[in-house]
């Protein structure tokens, strides 16, 4: 009986250590990202993703760091390299968590990075896909504030590009902010609503 108790205690302790290591590494990766050390953050998220093959969240953040950074890149070869890496990890995340709205809208953002780089080259082939992805995500999770906000921003930027009024989509930004205040996230490191970004988008509506 003592051996059984000892084995259980070892198992629990090992589990706690593993979880603690995951938490520490994820927090370190977020800290690196916050310090604008994007490459280091992405590589650390990648190592965590490889160490936790049944967890979609680290793979999601590998893709996220690469996609966000892609919007600052001026060289097309480098842009393509980063977004291909992002796509690889988005595929990993999607294989673990099917029809996940967080992954779907990140896929839409990846396409948007290409469009933002060269609208005349990528807009015709990718703009329709972006719209379809947002419609899919909204159908799955109509009350997800990140989905509502991402779709609203896409619609606002599209309206601006075509010199159309953006006002009709501003209500969706306000709706996303309201939804975010009701949301309760219990999963560790689950994507959070970016209130500052929402407020910045809303400012465009008031100008």
Q: 2-206 sits in which CATH class?
A: mainly alpha
Lowest mean per-residue pLDDT among 3-12, 27-36, 67-76, 115-124: 3-12
- Boundaries of every domain in the chain: 2-206
Instruction: State the average pLDDT over residues 123-127.
Output: 97
C-alpha 130/C-alpha 104 separation (Å) is 10
Q: How far is CA 86 from CA 4, 113, 176, in A?
A: 45, 11, 26
What are 107-116's pLDDT values in tens digits? 999 999 999 9
What are 63-121's pLDDT values in tens digits? 999 999 999 999 999 999 999 999 999 999 999 999 999 999 999 999 999 999 999 99
C-alpha 69/C-alpha 47 separation (Å) is 19
What are 126-142's pLDDT values in tens digits? 999 999 999 999 999 99
């Amino acid at each position: 009986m003592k051996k059984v108790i000892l084995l259980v205690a070892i198992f629990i302790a090992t589990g706690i250590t593993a979880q603690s290591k995951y938490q520490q590494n994820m927090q370190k990766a977020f800290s690196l990202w916050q310090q604008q050390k994007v490459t280091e953050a992405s590589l650390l998220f990648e190592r965590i993703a490889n160490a936790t093959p049944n967890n979609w969240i680290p793979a999601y953040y590998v893709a996220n760091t690469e996609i966000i950074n892609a919007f600052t890149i001026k060289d097309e070869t480098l842009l393509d390299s980063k977004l291909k890496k992002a796509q690889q990890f988005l595929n990993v995340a999607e294989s673990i968590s099917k029809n996940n709205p967080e992954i779907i809208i990140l896929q839409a953002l990846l396409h948007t990075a290409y469009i933002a780089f060269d609208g005349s080259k990528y807009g015709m082939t990718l703009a329709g896909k972006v719209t379809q992805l947002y419609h899919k995500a909204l159908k799955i999770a109509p009350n997800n504030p990140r989905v509502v906000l991402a779709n609203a921003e896409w619609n606002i930027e599209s309206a601006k590009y075509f010199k159309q009024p953006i006002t009709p989509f501003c209500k969706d930004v306000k709706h996303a902010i309201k939804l975010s205040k009701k949301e309760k996230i219990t999963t560790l490191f689950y994507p959070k609503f970016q209130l500052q970004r929402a407020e910045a988008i809303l400012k465009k509506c008031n100008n």
